[in-house]
Amino acid sequence: MALYLIGDVQGCDAALQRLLDTLDFSPSRDTLYFLGDLVNRGPDSAGVLRRLMDYGGAAHCLLGNHDLNLLAVAQGTRKPHRNDTLDGVLQAPDRHALLYWLRHQHMAMLLKRGDKALLMVHAGVLPTWTVDQTMARAQEVETVLQGGQATELLQTMYGNAPSRWNDGLIGMGRLRVIVNALTRLRFCTADGEMEFETKEGTAGAPAGYLPWFDVPDRQTAHATVAFGHWSTLGWMDRTDVLSLDTGCVWGGALSALEFNLQDDSQQLIQVRCQAAQQPGK
């Protein structure tokens, strides 16, 4: 049995098929962990969702910012962006089933074996959060998103404030900080103030800000944190972080990391992609 971590697919179903063929993936034998942004900007978001639904328990998926955008657009609480490619889902005969399945995916995932931990998020983790706190706060959002307050969350989750975590936060402001950290974070200050405008690689950090994973004394540094979201960062392999968004939708590659939690052995497998969008769009 093989375990694979897969970066941002963003509606590129043909590339995903080629990657799975390269892996010789079998849903009866192997397990896939997708790091979010399953949909949007690529040509076949509906195809990606149908494929992952069909895999059942062999595919475990995070929600990224583009996935939440689809849910908000479908709910009528957000207008489509001019570069969105979501009509295939929104106009699909199985629209309800696709959106229901998507709404029941994860905000964070955790694999443990002994003293080893692999934490998976779409974008980042605030430096003061432990692994257990990250999972608990992700569960807060999942519970609301899957329940009766989903519409309110989708209406109010957009915005950059509050810009930092506070244990006393309540209501939708609390959930907004959690969503922003898990699905949008790239840079923050040493005390956890988030910045969302900069999309360059680590060399482009604004004054006073650091990549979230380089903040001193980060509370998840003892675990391995796998994430996507940051295509300008690309593939990064450290003992404490694994970055797997390699820009498939921009003409880069779609990446899978075969990962063994027992001995930390790993192998990167990539397929090249044709650009479905212009970079920065």
Domain residue spans of the chain: 3-272
Give the per-residue pLDDT at 64.
Answer: 98
Give the per-residue pLDDT at 278.
Answer: 61
Residues 6+ apart with CB under 8 A from 137: 129, 178, 182
Give the per-residue pLDDT at 262.
Answer: 78
* CATH hierarchy code of domain 3-272: 3.60.21.10
**Residue ranges of the chain with per-residue pLDDT less than 50:** 280-281
Residues 6+ apart with CB under 8 A from 244: 5, 6, 7, 8, 35, 226, 227, 228, 235, 255, 257
Dump pLDDT digits (tens) for 159-200: 999 999 999 999 999 999 999 999 999 999 999 999 999 999
Give the per-residue pLDDT at 281.
Answer: 43
Give the per-residue pLDDT at 206.
Answer: 96
**8 Å CB contact between 243 and 234:** yes
Dump pLDDT digits (tens) for 226-256: 999 999 999 999 999 999 999 999 999 999 9
**DSSP character string of 147-162:** STTHHHHHHH--S--S
**DSSP character string of 20-72:** HHHHT--TTT-EEEE-S--SSSSS-HHHHHHHHHHTGGGEEEB--HHHHHHHH
- Residue 242: CA count within 13 A, CB half-sphere: 26
